[in-house]
Structure formats: C-alpha cells, structure tokens
Structure 1
Amino acid sequence: MVSKEGELLVKILMFLSILGSTQGRRDAVEVRHRRLREASSFSSTPAAEYDYIIVGGGTAGCPLAATLSQNYSVLLLERGGSPYGNGNITRMQNFHIGLADTSPASPSQSFISTDGVINTRARVLGGGTCINAGFYSRASPSFVKAAGWDEELVNESYPWVERRIVYWPDVAPWQAALRDGLVEAGFSPFNGYTYDHIYGTKIGGTIFDKDGFRHTAADLLAAGNPENLRVLLHATVQKIVFDTKGRRPKAAGVRFKDENGKLHRALLKNARHSEVILSSGAIGSPQLLLLSGIGHKKHLKKLDVRLVLHNPHVGKGMSDNPLNSIFMPTRKPVRQSLIQTVGITKKGVFIEASSGFGQSSDSIRCHHGIMSAEIGQLSTIPPKQRSLEAAKRYARDKQNLPREAFQGGFILEKIDGPLSRGRLRLNDTDVDNNPSVTFNYFSHPYDLKRCVYGIRSIEEIVRTKRFARLTVDDAYTMRMLLNMSVQANVNLIPKHTNDTASVEQFCRDSVTTIWHYHGGCHVGKVVDGEYRVLGVSRLRVVDGSTFDRSPGTNPQATVMMMGRYMGAKILRKRLGRAAGA
C-alpha cells in the first residue's frame, strides 16, 4: 500500500519537471470532435441502452469503439478529458510536461509501485498514445501465433491504424548515431525503416508527424459511425452492474460518475450479444473487476465488496519491462529526439535512445531526458531510498550545476518479456485511487542476467567510432562532464563492467520503467481466448492486461491493432465475414 508520504513524493518529483519552465504554446486552433460530450450530458432514459458499453477510451478502446459503431450502438466512457487543444499532449517538445503534470486535469496519473519505482497511467481520451514517446512497431509473428490471433485479420488491422496516424520519422542525429553504433558493434543487419519486429537494427514508425504534432488513438474515432457512437468525457466508471438472477452473473451495464460527481447508470440492450467491454488498461481493468466483485473472495470481503464471482487470478501476474538508462555527455548540444531507432537482440534485450530535452531553454536543469528524476525517478538512487529527503536534496543540488552537465543523450536497455511477476490489489474501494501494484523487478535471475548483457551492450556501442564523433574527445573535459553528470544524478556506465556483481547491483539500483506494464487479466485465468471474462456473461476485457508479455519493442501498435481486430472479429461473428472491412 502506498503511503501518503509516497504520494507526496510523486508530486514533488513531478513538480521539479515544470519548475522554472513555461508551457509550450498551444495549437492555434483547438480541435473539437463533435461526438465528444461531458459525462454530465448523459440521460438515462429508456432509449439510452446500448449494444456495447466500452469502459476506457484509450489505446484499445478508441479503435474498438470506432469499429463496433459501424453496425451497432456504442457508448464509450473515458475518465479523462480531451487531448485536443492541449499542447502538452500534441507537441513533441512538451512530452516531459505531459508526464509530469499532477493537476486534476492532467492526462497522466502517477503511481508508485511497492518496489519504489514511480510510474504513470493515462487519464485522457486516447490513453497511453497521448503521453508516450510515440514509437510504433508491430509485434513479432511468434507473439501473434501465441495469442491465437487470425493472422489474416491481424495483417488487415495493423494497416487500418497505420493509414490514419502513423508516420516515418525524420531521424535525429542522436538516433542516427545509435543506428550506426549498433551496426558497428555487431547488432546487425540494419533492416532500414520497418514496422516489423526483426532481429538486428531498424528505424520504426512514429505517431508524431514531420511537424512534431502527435496523432493519437482518439483520432481513430473519426472512422466510426457518428450515428451509433457516443463518447463521454470525465465519465469515471465505479463498477459493473450485474444481473445475478440467472444461472451465472450477467453484465447489465455500468455505474459511473460525471465531472460533477453525480452518479449515472448506463445499461446494455437486453440482447444476447450486447456486452460491457473493459479497455481500461493493465491497472484499470483488473481494478474494475475487483471493485465489481470479481476476484479473490477473502480480499474482497476485507474491503466489504459484494462478491459476484470468486476468481483468485484477477490482478495476479503483473509484470513491467525493467529499463536502465545510460547518459552520455556530448561536445555540443544534441537535437531533441524520442525513440526512433531500436536494436532488437536475440538475448531478449532492446536497445533504444532519447536525447536533447530542454537544451534550448533556460530550464535545462529541469528536464534533460525521458528517464530523469523529474518525470519518474531519482535515477541513480536505489528504489527503496527514493525518499522525500532525497528529492529535496536532489532539487537543491541540481540548480547549482552548469548547463554542460545536461548536454548529451540517453541510451536505454529494456528487458523483453520479464519472467519476474507481481500482483495488483485494492487499497480501498475508491476507483479514483491507485491500487497497490508490485512488479518484483529482477526477482527472476534470468531478468538480471539479461540486464547485465544490456548494459555491456551499451558499453560496446558507446565505444564505437560513430559515438566518438559526438562525445568529448578531450580526456580532462570528459572527466569533468562525467563528474558533473554524477552530481546531476544521471546514470552512467558502471566503472567495472567486467564485474558481474557490480553490474547486477547497478541494474537493481538504477531500474526505472518505460511504461510497458501488463497482465492482471491473463488469458485462461481471467478471460478466455476471445477475451470474455470467465464465469460471467456479456463481459470482456480488451487491452494489455490480458497480455503475458509486452508485444514488440513498444506495445501501442499492437494494442491499437487489438482494438480494431477484436471489433472486426465481433462484427464478423454477428454479421458475417465481410463485416468490419
């Protein structure tokens, strides 16, 4: 359970990111989607019954709603607001601000896992696509096969997304250096620009266009039928409403509150195929199942939640891809970049990069990289020591450092498919509060072994001739910058990478997240192969909580595809194979 001190730590760390900085200019014209309404506009008349009620207008929920609305009435309930007109969401240079904002209207909600790692969950129409680094890369063929998906429909669903919101990036110098450094270090072949998951080095897609403008899953709603699709903002679902009179519990609708705190009830049509579909993400979906009475009966009894179905697997098997980052000082400022290049290794480690945050502004000390303390971590302080006192000391010391301490870029290594698992439990029955989440980073020895491999791989890359052109060649200057970087609390390569124990400790002490957590509603334990919740009727879960591992190098492509895929599959089952085309 996260303490009040822990929650305060989140606020302090996030505030550091925007301290002394100014919000980027907002778009000149605010886009207003004519289907978007505030939750208070909802009317619970007898006519307000729906074929599908989708809880969560995020990465999966938006394409799912757009697809189902082609033929049936859909109510999409999103607890957050609109992404349109918010420059902290739409402009790439404001990426760090969108993550750091802790206001009630923020598109992100911070939480601290019991491991001590600060993380973020989306709270906005478009979900994680509104606050992520934008990288777009498909899942591997083996992931698709293991999921039991129809490959033909998968290969139709990815392009449906890509035609609407995906672009090829203008490769930044830091990303080009990583590309060349990876190949020079032996992470070959270079596969060029591709969405596909291929061993070697590649340039992936992005949801940022050439002007640095973000396109999100919310844009996919434009593909829906406006006559059938209703989208409510600031609609926070409290629980699923069940009809328990029959042989097995049957979802009948949901209860939600609007932006004013008023409660409403939205109901399904009295039809066999009508469904409530949870698309609230790996935190929100298991949390809602538990709050609705589906979970371990002893846990629910302690919180006085009325039991609907005993299922001890809800919230179990949570996992997060651990990430460790290395900061490399450079001779000159480098252009800002998010993830564009990736090295996909056969050891289950991905190598990526970011660079140049805040280097052109007076607030350089406040936001210099995606894994910096301001948007999630006191990066070189072990998780259990990330305290309020450490945050205050960090804020004080950082302001006295020269700009050069923040001049450079990050190289990141991420563990693919971690074997370390944790769990999610309710702290209380307030859906607005974060549940207690444990990921147990590096509890499995193989994850730690792969981290060591990843750190040593980064060392090989930064020692290539390609990186020598960017980094400082004067020994004295380099030593000075490295010392300042240590003071700035930025990760550096361990001094003795040939000492496995030293690197293992570095992995544990510097672990952060890249927001690719998943699990909690696993197939075969909480849902079946069609993502229907086991033991009840008319209820599904369609999002990353059903995944046993995070797909590809970034899950957003596959989660959006999944929303489209499941929408088309449901339509085909009801209407015939041509449906959902």
Structure 2
Amino acid sequence: MALGLASSAALVLATILGSLCLVALSEDEQLENLRFVRRAQDAPLVSHYNYIIIGGGTAGCPLAATLSEHSRVLLLERGGLPYRNMSNQQHFTDALADTSPASPAQRFISEDGVVNARARVLGGGSCLNAGFYTRASNDYVHAAGWDARLVNSSYRWVERALVFRPDVPPWQAALRDALLEAGVTPDNGFTFDHVTGTKIGGTIFDSSGQRHTAADFLRHARPGGLTVLLYATVSRILFRQQEGAPYPVAYGVVFSDPLGVQHRVYLQDGGKNEVILSAGTLGSPQLLMLSGVGPQAHLEAHGVQVLVDQPMVGQGVADNPMNSVFIPSPVPVALSLVQVVGITRTGSFIEGVSGSEFGIPVSEGVRRLARNFGLFSPQLQTGQLGTLPPKQRTPEALQRAAEAMRRLDRRAFRGGFILEKILGPVSSGHIELRSTDPRANPAVTFNYFQEKEDLDRCVHGIETIERVIQSRAFANFTYANASVESIFTDSANFPVNLLPRHANDSRTPEQYCRDTVMTIWHYHGGCQVGAVVDDDYRVFGVQRLRVIDSSTFKYSPGTNPQATVMMLGRYMGVKIQAERWRK
C-alpha cells in the first residue's frame, strides 16, 4: 500500500476510489470525500507542480498515482467522475448512448463514415469498454524495446488493483468449445497471456457485475502528492526559448474551466520536471498541433503559430476494424460481455457478447439514439446498420434503420454476437484539426481495409465465425434449420443480420467486410514512437514534454489494448521516477 494511506483522508480515498464507478453518491457528494479531487473552477488561477499530466484516462491515472509517490503532480481531466450508469455490465451501452454535452463518451464520426466515441471521464476508456483484460504478446514487448521485467511487474501491479477471473456462463463456454472445434487451438484455459489458440481472459468486472476502472489506481497515490482537476480543458502547452537549450522548453499549460475562466499551471523550477500528454489517440496529437508542434502548412492554415514543423504529428492513426454476426438463439441467453477470445494463426481475433438485456431497441430509447445519431445499440449497429455501407450512414438513413429495428419482435434479439477484429491493422490514416477549439473533435481518417492484408484477415475471421456457427459445440444456441447463409440473408426469420444491396448483388466476403465495418474502439497512433516521440516518449524537437498513451502505438497490443495502456502508465511512471533520482 502506498505511503500515506494510513491517514484518515486516505482511508476515505481507499473506500471510495476503490470502486469509484460503483458508488451511489452524486458527484457533489463524492467530491466532498475526495480531498485532492475538485472541479477546475475551484482551482487557483496560477499554480506550480513537478509534473503536469494532461488526461486522466487509462494511462494517465496509473501514471499520476506512481509519480505522486515522491513528487507533486497535477492531473487535468476534461470530464467528470464516472457516472452510475457505467458501473454495471447490464448498463454497458448507457454511457455510449448518452448524447448530452457532458456525456462521458464524446461521439465522433470518422471521415470513413464509421460512428465512434472517445472517453471524457476520469478513468478514460476503462469506464466505457467491455472490460476484457489481456496482455500484449512477448513479441510485441520485444519490438517496443521495453524492459520485460519491468513490464511484467507493471502488469502485475495493474492486475492486483482491478482485474478478476470471470465466471463463464453457458453461451461463452459454448463459444470457447466451438472455437476449438473450428480449429482455433490449443485450449489455453484461463490466462492473461497473448498466445495463439482459444483462451479465457481477465475482466475488470467483478463477480457481482460491477465495473472497476483506471480511476481505482488513484487510491495508490500519495494524497499530499496529487491534485486532480475535473472539467479542465487544456487549450495549449506553453513553451519558451531557454538559454543554453537547443530546443523550445515546455514550462506549463493553459486550461479553461466550465465557466470559461483561463488558468495557468507552471512547472516548478528544476530541469527534471515535465509536462506529460496522456490525452489519447485523438487528444494528444490535437493538443500538440494546437500548441504549434505539427505539420507547418496545416497549422498555418488554421492560424496556429508554428513552433516546430513536425509533419508526423497526427500520422499513422489506425482503428482495428470490427465485423460481427448476430446469432439468434432458440433459448434465452444470459448476459455476458467479452470473456473468451480465439487468437487465430491468420491474424484475426474472435470474441463474443451475449444476452439482450443491454441495447434492446425499446421504442423511446431507439428514437432517442436515432435522433441524436447515437446508434450504439449492438443490435442496431450489427443489424440494420449493416444494411448501410459506411458512406451511406446519414442521420436520416440511420433513423429509418432504427425505426425498422424498433418494429421487430423482442425474440429477434435473443442470442449473441460473434465478432472478429484483425491484427494490427496495416492500414492507417491521419488526424487533422477542424478548428482551434480544443473541445471540438479533430477530423479522423482511418482508411479501413486500404491494405489487402487487412481485408484477407477479415475474410479469414468471418470464415472462422461461420465454422463456429456450424459446430456441434454451439448447436444449443442456434436454430437447427438455420444455415449460415440464412442467418445473414433470411429477413423473414432472422431479421437482424441483413446485408447491403448492390447493383450487381455482390455478396463476397470482401464486400461483407467493407460494408459492415464498425469500430471496436481500439484506435491508436498519431504520436508514434520513432516518428513523434523517442524510445522514452519524449517529443522530438522540444524539451520537458512527453506523450504516454495509445497514440504512441504503431499496432494495437494483444487482442484488446486496455491492459497494455494501463501497464504503460505504471511502467513509465516507475522509469521517470528512477530518472529523477539518478545522479
């Protein structure tokens, strides 16, 4: 247990932050008990810290907790505390469907036409995701140049805090057995490791279905060493030319509170103090560009004064494409999020979620989703949304799709989804500014399936799903008279999975992959190691500034990245501390 947790404030902290997403208290009541967490409007206009971390998400929280052990740390989060509607797996889609200005999930639509979301809440994506926990492969760790021993100890630190072994319900057990029958072998049992074959992974949902998040790591912080400000929107990083320094030196940040008041935070004197960007794949490159570090012509077009011409900022952004199939069941199916994964030798990953308790297209709910262009109901995305290729997913078309789903009998949604995502991916795109408003989403292009290798992997994944559906192990959860083709195309009996119509009535697997592509929220890149930051995550061309989050990844780690993003926060916190005290 971290230094200082014996204090009365820390005891309160341990009980509340230990299950921050679970507490049935209002935000005001929670803030009264969290001594070092407060709203941005209550912060002084000027303050000084050893470390300023921008972004209290999946990497930022473990990083802040670690650095606070021996330094004064300010953690700036643009969202609020996790809401109650994120706390239980039965309400998995509630936060994603929230369209209010203060939603913990800020919606964006990529230039490819795919609806997506980014986290805006303390704890980041760990407050919104399906909870699956799995490490990166040994090859990934080696390619990243990380210290394997420190990586393992950092993973273990994460796992002690918030990772559980799931209880596997019958549908997930059938999926596991069906994957093995389909040739995704060997059976690796329960493991956090990334190994070829079929396995059961960890989860951040406990045995009662309650979610734990990266915000839990803050209970390991030294209370006197950490300040967390909520609803703090950083507009730029401050730089100056310092005598004897070859590059501009970061010395602080400017942020706005909800009332529009600007605050300034400066690094305390001392060459080891730093600003650290942990604002995510969209936020980190966006803030670099708003601060004058990015492609010169692009910044000048938006009236941003160029500090460093860095053409690679915002480049190499990728999103692992996800395609899924709804499998109607003749029997009721219990709710489960991702617990089983099949890691194929062809570079695709197979997972599943079951039960209709979440995302049922109840009349008013679907109207609200369609009206606000939310459309995060799994049934809606995988079903009628599949009838619309990405570029045709206009608000009007999606509203018609939502209404069509609403009219279906509830029994049509009895079953589960089997989904596949691909390794990598190889295809990538870029991020550009839309405006100089830090609250606005940048323009994001992912270029799904631009490279044939990605498309081939998707096809292999869909073929694996077909074998799973036809397996004996999965027979209890499929209709005996239903062929694989009928599940996709029989609109009378199986109305959820419908394919888009084309002039040539093309129904090739490649076309299916392109037409039904969705996000699985595993986007990454934009500040990649070797292009924007060095091996220690320091930004090229400036000093006292690092980026530590998923924007530094070239490929998504493992089947699901949250474990490695959390690990990276802890890992780099330990390394930075060691550097600080090294003579």
Structure 1: where are the runs of 5+ without partners?
A: 1-24
Against the structure 1 CA distance between its residues 66 and 211, is the aligned structure 2 distance closer, same or farther, given a 3 Å change threshold? same
Q: 1:488, CA displacement in angstroms?
A: 4.7
Secondary structure of the residue aligned to 2:508 is helix
- Tell me which amino acid in the other structure corresponds to 2:527: C
Secondary structure of the residue aligned to 1:459 is helix
Give the alignment partner of residue 227 of structure 2, picking from 227, 230, 233.
Answer: 230
Q: 1:424, CA displacement in angstroms?
A: 0.3
1:121 is matched with 118
Judge conservation of contact 2:79–2:232 (CA < 8 Å) in 1.
yes
Q: 1:524, CA displacement in angstroms?
A: 1.2
Q: 1:467, CA displacement in angstroms?
A: 1.2
1:526 is matched with 532
1:7-26 → structure 2 map (5 Å cutoff): none
Please say if 1:170 is aligned against 2:167. yes
2:542 is matched with 536
Distance 2:346 2:98 in 1: 36
Cα shift readout 1:497-540 (whole Å, capped 9, x = no counterpart): xx997000000000001000000001111000000000100000
Cα shift readout 1:291-332 (whole Å, capped 9, x = no counterpart): 000001110001000111000000001111001001111002
Judge conservation of contact 2:40–2:258 (CA < 8 Å) in 1.
yes
Please say if 1:406 is aligned against 2:413. yes
1:50-61 → structure 2 map (5 Å cutoff): 50-61=49-60
- Tell me which amino acid in the other structure corresponds to 1:43: P
Q: 1:388, CA displacement in angstroms?
A: 2.1
Cα shift readout 1:413-443 (whole Å, capped 9, x = no counterpart): 1011011110000011001111000000001
Secondary structure of the residue aligned to 1:54 is strand
Secondary structure of the residue aligned to 2:92 is helix
Q: 1:245, CA displacement in angstroms?
A: 4.6
Cα shift readout 1:93-133 (whole Å, capped 9, x = no counterpart): 11111111011221100100000001110000000000000
- Tell me which amino acid in the other structure corresponds to 2:185: S
Against the structure 1 CA distance between its residues 467 and 482, is the aligned structure 2 distance closer, same or farther, given a 3 Å change threshold? farther
Give the alignment partner of residue 561 of structure 2, picking from 552, 555, 564.
Answer: 555
Distance 1:73 1:511 in 2: 45
Cα shift readout 1:548-570 (whole Å, capped 9, x = no counterpart): 00101110000000000000001
Secondary structure of the residue aligned to 1:251 is strand
Secondary structure of the residue aligned to 1:379 is helix
Secondary structure of the residue aligned to 1:560 is helix
Q: 1:337, CA displacement in angstroms?
A: 1.0
1:76 is matched with 75
Q: 1:546, CA displacement in angstroms?
A: 0.3
2:310 is matched with 311
Please say if 1:392 is aligned against 2:399. yes
Distance 1:376 1:320 in 2: 21
Cα shift readout 1:459-497 (whole Å, capped 9, x = no counterpart): 011100011111122459x96997358885536799xxx
- Tell me which amino acid in the other structure corresponds to 2:278: S
1:6 is matched with none
Distance 1:402 1:448 in 2: 34
Cα shift readout 1:35-62 (whole Å, capped 9, x = no counterpart): 21000111145xx311100000000000
1:295 is matched with 294
2:193 is matched with 196
Q: 1:270, CA displacement in angstroms?
A: 1.7
Judge conservation of contact 2:500–2:515 (CA < 8 Å) in 1.
no
TM-score between the two structures when normalised by the length of structure 2: 0.89
1:73-472 → structure 2 map (5 Å cutoff): 73-83=72-82, 86-246=83-243, 247-358=246-357, 363=362, 366=366, 371-373=378-380, 378-472=385-479
Against the structure 1 CA distance between its residues 70 and 513, is the aligned structure 2 distance closer, same or farther, given a 3 Å change threshold? same
Distance 1:467 1:487 in 2: 17
Judge conservation of contact 2:382–2:516 (CA < 8 Å) in 1.
no
Against the structure 1 CA distance between its residues 486 and 75, is the aligned structure 2 distance closer, same or farther, given a 3 Å change threshold? farther
Judge conservation of contact 2:487–2:497 (CA < 8 Å) in 1.
no
Distance 1:500 1:456 in 2: 17
Q: 1:172, CA displacement in angstroms?
A: 2.1
Higher mean alpha-carbon deviation, 481-490 vs 320-329, is at: 481-490
Judge conservation of contact 1:81–1:123 (CA < 8 Å) in 2.
yes
Judge conservation of contact 1:323–1:511 (CA < 8 Å) in 2.
yes
Secondary structure of the residue aligned to 2:275 is strand
Cα shift readout 1:183-209 (whole Å, capped 9, x = no counterpart): 111111111111010110000000000
1:572 is matched with 578
Secondary structure of the residue aligned to 1:472 is coil
Distance 1:479 1:157 in 2: 47
Distance 2:548 2:488 in 1: 47
- Tell me which amino acid in the other structure corresponds to 2:231: H
Against the structure 1 CA distance between its residues 321 and 139, is the aligned structure 2 distance closer, same or farther, given a 3 Å change threshold? same
Distance 1:50 1:540 in 2: 16
Judge conservation of contact 1:378–1:489 (CA < 8 Å) in 2.
no
Structure 2: where are the runs of 5+ without partners?
A: 1-20, 370-374
Distance 1:52 1:29 in 2: 30
Cα shift readout 1:205-230 (whole Å, capped 9, x = no counterpart): 00000111100000101101110100
Judge conservation of contact 2:487–2:494 (CA < 8 Å) in 1.
no
Against the structure 1 CA distance between its residues 570 and 491, is the aligned structure 2 distance closer, same or farther, given a 3 Å change threshold? farther
Q: 1:392, CA displacement in angstroms?
A: 2.2
Against the structure 1 CA distance between its residues 566 and 226, is the aligned structure 2 distance closer, same or farther, given a 3 Å change threshold? same
Judge conservation of contact 1:327–1:491 (CA < 8 Å) in 2.
no
Aligned length: 545
Against the structure 1 CA distance between its residues 500 and 161, is the aligned structure 2 distance closer, same or farther, given a 3 Å change threshold? farther
Distance 1:485 1:560 in 2: 45
Secondary structure of the residue aligned to 2:322 is strand
Higher mean alpha-carbon deviation, 201-210 vs 391-400, is at: 391-400
2:520 is matched with 514
Against the structure 1 CA distance between its residues 525 and 116, is the aligned structure 2 distance closer, same or farther, given a 3 Å change threshold? same
Secondary structure of the residue aligned to 1:128 is helix
Judge conservation of contact 2:318–2:523 (CA < 8 Å) in 1.
yes
Judge conservation of contact 1:369–1:409 (CA < 8 Å) in 2.
no
Secondary structure of the residue aligned to 2:385 is coil
Against the structure 1 CA distance between its residues 360 and 525, is the aligned structure 2 distance closer, same or farther, given a 3 Å change threshold? closer
Against the structure 1 CA distance between its residues 233 and 527, is the aligned structure 2 distance closer, same or farther, given a 3 Å change threshold? same
Against the structure 1 CA distance between its residues 377 and 150, is the aligned structure 2 distance closer, same or farther, given a 3 Å change threshold? farther
- Tell me which amino acid in the other structure corresponds to 2:453: Y
Distance 1:481 1:378 in 2: 13
Judge conservation of contact 1:199–1:345 (CA < 8 Å) in 2.
yes
- Tell me which amino acid in the other structure corresponds to 1:388: P
